[in-house]
């Protein structure tokens, strides 16, 4: 029997309810006011009183308003039809919501997340008498470019005997496609969709593996120096306007993954609208069709109710885990976790909890860690592998990376891509600071080579800082050449032109090839007699390499420019030091 209650207090988007019956944490309840049912979630239980966060504007809720509890946890519906959808944080399909409710969305108006009347071509893969357990595949349906596997619901904990299975044919999500029998003889009907609580991780795999395979993004700076592994985690902190959203869109388009899920958890509406407009128009380089066919967008802007930000983050990661359970590689991009943390701070204040640093809740670190820990590379029961890679942007006020959300994130992620206001103002894109950033993962290039290049870059940065004090004339010629090498690496290799159809995305083979060419320059001792000659020589070389970057891979123009660059280097190269020669010989 479902419990009920009545409102005894309202504080912003939090209501206090006196309960008659039993309830549990994270259970969904509905506040009945002005003829509408406002969806809410229990976030604290204290005797016969509970605090609930309301996922709608709470205007009009008064003392004594009735509350109905659902006996169900906050959950999402999993099944065919998720790809290409644009949801809000509660998995309401926003395009359908706009059609039925108008552009000014009504409170208490909820729709089915998946189209219940759409026909799907179901193909069974089990037969009567087979034994199945949770997350086992019982059939499949085509969904966009993938074969969507119909799974036994994750909530079923027993081993089951298949008593009946539908033949190949067209069915809706409401139709029973199989019946299974538990150990007590109870028959359980199965459809092609089921629900799963968003706050509970999906752990139906056989083994969790260490992420080692690089997730190629086709961004040279990331793949070479700051790699991300499939099943790993990374964060992109940076000040407003430094290019976080653009970098996420580039990664969405070119990353070596099957499915992309974008969780806009509290970003400004303008940025989200830009994403919604551009994604359907972006061509997927894998299929040549719309990128939206393998994308899900969870849209919760800063103008939507604050409580929904948390729901959108967990909705997104649950959908990602669902597709991982099919043996697919999923990339989840959360933008921005700072807004989510601000929502937690607001709710913590209303709960009158003891605040931590900058008034964020004391459990901020553990909550952020719990979210990122749901990423991972797993081996499924049938031997296949699947992964969820999580990349979260952080928007620290003033670009201050010492603030609590950034620091809590850095403690749990495997790579840090810190965006620099100085680099974005200088039009150096991507504006990731190559020295301040780091990664714990292995990339596509020999780490000894990247370490050699990094040392030159670090030394060049030191020399630049010194020149700001003593001037160029106070620098030796050898140091000035080192500085020019670092500048060349930054300008000709790290920076990419996203407007150039060739340079916007660089394949791993080309990255390795071009990086070896860069190493020829970085390891060479050059015969340059003056700083003016060095400056002129490096400027000409930089322009040659920029033209080289814009040439089609292995075309005649590419090979011609490569010959010109190598001759240009050979004219000034004296020798290569022994350590560098040994590194180059490894290729």
Detail the residues annotated as belonging to a binding site for ATP: 238-245
**Under 8 Å between Cβ of 492 and 546:** yes
DSSP string, 564-581: HHHHHHHTTEEEE-HHHH
Cα–Cα distance, 476 to 405 (Å, whole number): 43
- Edge-to-edge strand ranges of the sheet holding 178-181: 131-132, 160-165, 178-181, 187-190
33 strand-pairing partners: 36
Annotated binding site: 238-245
Long-range contacts of 283-290 (CB under 8 A, 24+ apart): 284/253, 285/253, 285/254, 285/505, 286/145, 287/145, 289/145
Half-sphere exposure of 147 (CA within 13 A, CB side): 10
**Under 8 Å between Cβ of 228 and 439:** yes
The conformational region for residue 400 under phi > 0 = left, psi -120 to 50 = alpha, else beta, is beta
| Cα distances (angstroms) measured from residue 188 to each of 137, 158, 159, 371 | 16, 12, 12, 32
Question: What SS3 state is found at 502?
Answer: coil
Cα–Cα distance, 57 to 304 (Å, whole number): 9
Q: What residues contact 74, with CB distance under 8 A and at least 6 apart? A: 26, 27, 28, 41, 197, 198, 199, 311, 314
Closest CA to 118 of 149, 143, 81: 81
Angle between helices 556-570 and 531-549 (to 10 degrees): 160
Angle between helices 337-350 and 364-372 (to 10 degrees): 140
The conformational region for residue 281 under phi > 0 = left, psi -120 to 50 = alpha, else beta, is alpha
Cα–Cα distance, 357 to 362 (Å, whole number): 8
**Under 8 Å between Cβ of 7 and 63:** yes
The radius of gyration of the chain's CA atoms, rounded to the nearest angstrom, is 27
Helices (H), 490-573: 508-522, 531-549, 556-570
**Under 8 Å between Cβ of 154 and 134:** yes
């Amino acid at each position: 029997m479902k419990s009920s209650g009545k409102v005894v207090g309202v504080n912003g988007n939090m209501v206090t309810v006196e309960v008659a019956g039993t309830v549990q944490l994270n259970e969904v309840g509905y506040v009945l006011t002005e003829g509408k049912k406002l969806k809410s979630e229990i976030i604290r239980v204290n005797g016969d009183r509970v605090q609930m966060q309301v996922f709608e504007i709470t205007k009009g809720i008064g003392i004594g308003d009735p509350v109905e509890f659902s006996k169900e946890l906050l959950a999402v519906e999993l099944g065919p039809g998720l790809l290409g959808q644009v949801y809000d944080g509660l998995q309401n399909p926003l395009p359908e919501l706009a059609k039925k409710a108008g552009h000014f969305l009504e409170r208490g108006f909820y729709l089915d997340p998946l189209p219940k009347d759409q026909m799907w071509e179901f193909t069974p893969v089990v037969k009567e008498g087979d034994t199945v357990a949770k997350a086992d595949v019982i059939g499949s349906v085509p969904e966009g470019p993938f074969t969507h596997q119909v799974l036994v619901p994750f909530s079923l904990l027993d081993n089951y005997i298949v008593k009946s299975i539908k033949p190949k044919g067209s069915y809706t999500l409401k139709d029973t496609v199989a019946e299974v029998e538990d150990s007590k003889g109870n028959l359980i009907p199965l459809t092609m969709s089921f629900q799963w609580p968003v706050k509970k991780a999906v752990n139906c795999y056989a083994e969790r593996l260490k992420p080692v395979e690089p997730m190629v993004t086709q961004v040279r700076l990331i793949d070479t120096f700051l790699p991300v592994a499939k099943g790993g985690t990374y964060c992109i902190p940076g000040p407003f306007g430094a290019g976080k959203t653009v970098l996420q869109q580039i990664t969405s388009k070119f990353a070596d993954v099957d499915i992309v899920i974008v969780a806009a958890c509290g970003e400004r509406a303008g940025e989200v609208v830009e994403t919604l407009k551009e994604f359907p128009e972006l061509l997927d380089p894998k299929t040549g069709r719309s990128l939206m066919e393998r994308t899900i967008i969870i849209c919760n802007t800063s103008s939507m109710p604050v409580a929904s930000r948390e729901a959108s983050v967990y909705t997104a990661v649950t959908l990602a885990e669902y597709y991982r359970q099919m043996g697919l590689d999923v990339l989840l991009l959360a933008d921005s976790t700072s807004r989510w943390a601000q929502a937690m701070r607001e709710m913590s204040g209303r709960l009158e909890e003891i605040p931590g640093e900058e008034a964020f809740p004391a459990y901020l670190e553990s909550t952020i860690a719990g979210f990122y820990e749901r990423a991972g590379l797993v081996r499924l029961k049938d031997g296949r592998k699947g992964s969820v890679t999580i990349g979260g942007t952080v928007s620290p006020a003033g670009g201050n990376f010492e603030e609590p959300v950034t620091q809590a994130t850095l403690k749990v992620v495997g790579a840090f891509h810190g965006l620099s206001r100085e680099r974005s103002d200088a039009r150096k894109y991507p504006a990731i600071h190559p020295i301040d950033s780091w990664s714990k993962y292995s990339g596509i290039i020999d780490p000894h080579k990247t370490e050699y290049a990094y040392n030159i870059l670090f030394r060049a940065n030191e020399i630049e800082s010194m020149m700001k004090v003593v001037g160029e004339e106070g620098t030796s010629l050898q140091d000035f050449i080192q500085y020019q090498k670092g500048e060349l690496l930054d300008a000709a290799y790290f920076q990419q032109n996203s407007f150039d159809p060739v340079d916007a995305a660089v394949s791993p083979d080309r990255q390795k090839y071009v990086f070896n060419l860069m190493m020829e320059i970085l390891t060479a001792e050059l015969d340059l007699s003056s700083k003016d000659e060095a400056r002129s020589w490096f400027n000409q070389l930089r322009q040659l390499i920029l033209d080289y970057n814009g040439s089609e891979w292995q075309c005649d123009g590419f090979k011609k420019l490569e010959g010109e660059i190598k001759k240009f280097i050979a004219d000034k190269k004296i020798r290569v030091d022994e350590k560098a020669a040994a590194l180059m010989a490894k290729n």
